[in-house]
Structure 1
Amino acid sequence: MATWNTRGLRGSALEELLNYTNERYRQQKLALIQKIPTPIKPIRIEKESRHITLAYFDQKSTVDYIGTVQGIPVCFDAKECAADTFPLQNVHAHQIQFMGEFEEQEGIAFIILYFSSRDECYYVPFRELQKFWNRSQGGGRKSFTYAEMDRSYRVPVTGGGMLHYLELLQKDLDERRVQENS
């Protein structure tokens, strides 16, 4: 497992850290979040070992993770970028559509975004992601920057390497309630 403070998150380390965190949340009965595998279509399978040696993505996937937190449906995607700019081409239209429809069903959608050059991770509520997406679709900037991140949504690393995003999910819920009551 990657060490957050020394090596930073490299390659699939963000996913490993999220999987570890989600397993700890499950053990503590705080949440039940599952990694959604990307569907593939096997093209070539070795007859003897039955190992897939060639495959293609079968269909568009939705998000990386889906589950429930204390009865609240959640879905999110894990994203990484090496620079201070996150290209929105890394989020697909079908993912935006799925997250929007998920929220219409009273679920909570978000992304966990890791800025590898800064070794910082952020919870990006869907409403913020959608704002950036809509800006790009309206002819504006096709990315968003580190400077546009709400620093109060920085994901802390706690308790033996957990990427503790539940605190930020609660902040997101609280802000939604304030907006609804305004």
Structure 2
Amino acid sequence: MSLEDEINHSNQYYLSRHIAVIHKKPTPIQLVKVDYPKRSAAVIKEAYFRRPSTTDYNGIYKGYYIDFDAKETRNKRSFPLKNFHEHQIRHMQECVRQGGICFAFIKFTELDLVYLLPASTLIRYWDAQASGGRKSILLTDIQQAGFSIDYQLNPRLPYLQAVDQIIAAKNKGAYHVE
């Protein structure tokens, strides 16, 4: 199961129990050519992206705006920052500035490990690479700064437990805006 499938399963669980409303954002595309072999079976033949997409998911939980992206890597020791784009990082930064809770799911597929990394940490590493810093985040750094999300039956990825910790830190003034 892909990371997005696991997140979608978890979000459906949260929605069905009235815990949170979090959805995958549609990718903004412009259709150019569509074939209609029959009315119920339209096939997109040509399309292009209207504008760069921001993050994968957004919604609301306990009155807080939630916004996050989901990324996977086959690397075993680090997560390459090239998996993100500048506009995604700046979007996350603006969401945090406005009081939202923003983060990235990072899955190490070869190790079957999933982490929730707060946007403030991701932004710090992103900005550091511009001034000669690492072009990746070490797994050990993600383990220290992020939250390990262990699989379970329902929800598949119980990530709102980590979000609760971010909310608690935010309420204590310990959640910093970059």
Instruction: Determine whether 1:29 maps to 2:18.
Output: yes
1:120 corresponds to: 113
TM-score by length of 2: 0.88
Structure 1 residues 74-83 or 41-50, which shifts more?
Answer: 41-50
Deviation of 1:75 after TM superposition, in Å, equals 0.3
Which amino acid letter does the alignment assign opposite residue 100 of structure 2?
Answer: G
The ranges of structure 1 where at least 4 consecutive aligned residues each deviate by more than 6 angstroms after the TM superposition are none
- Contact residue 13 and residue 154 of structure 2 kept, 8 A: no
Distance in 2 of aligned mates of 1:175 and 1:71 = 16
Determine helix, strand or coil for the equivalent of 1:61: coil
Aligned in 2, Cα 1:104/1:52: closer, same or farther, shift over 3 Å? same
Distance in 2 of aligned mates of 1:180 and 1:142 = 25
Which amino acid letter does the alignment assign opposite residue 59 of structure 2?
Answer: G
Which amino acid letter does the alignment assign opposite residue 98 of structure 2?
Answer: Q
Determine helix, strand or coil for the equivalent of 1:163: coil
1:94-173 equivalent positions in 2, closer than 5 A: 94-151=87-144, 153-160=147-154, 162-173=156-167
Distance in 2 of aligned mates of 1:180 and 1:128 = 11
1:5 corresponds to: none
Structure 1 residues 108-117 or 52-61, which shifts more?
Answer: 52-61
Which amino acid letter does the alignment assign opposite residue 165 of structure 2?
Answer: K
Q: Spell out, residue by residue over 1:58-111, the C-alpha distance to the aligned partner (whole angstroms, 9 max, x if none).
A: 210011000000111000000000002211111111111111111111110000
Deviation of 1:47 after TM superposition, in Å, equals 4.4
Gaps of at least 5 residues in structure 2 are none
Structure 1 residues 115-124 or 45-54, which shifts more?
Answer: 45-54
Aligned residue among 6, 15, 30 for 1:17: 6
Deviation of 1:144 after TM superposition, in Å, equals 0.8
Determine helix, strand or coil for the equivalent of 1:139: coil
Determine helix, strand or coil for the equivalent of 1:162: coil
Gaps of at least 5 residues in structure 1 are 3-12
Name the count of aligned residue pairs: 170
Task: Tell me the percent identity.
Answer: 32
Structure 1 residues 38-47 or 135-144, which shifts more?
Answer: 38-47
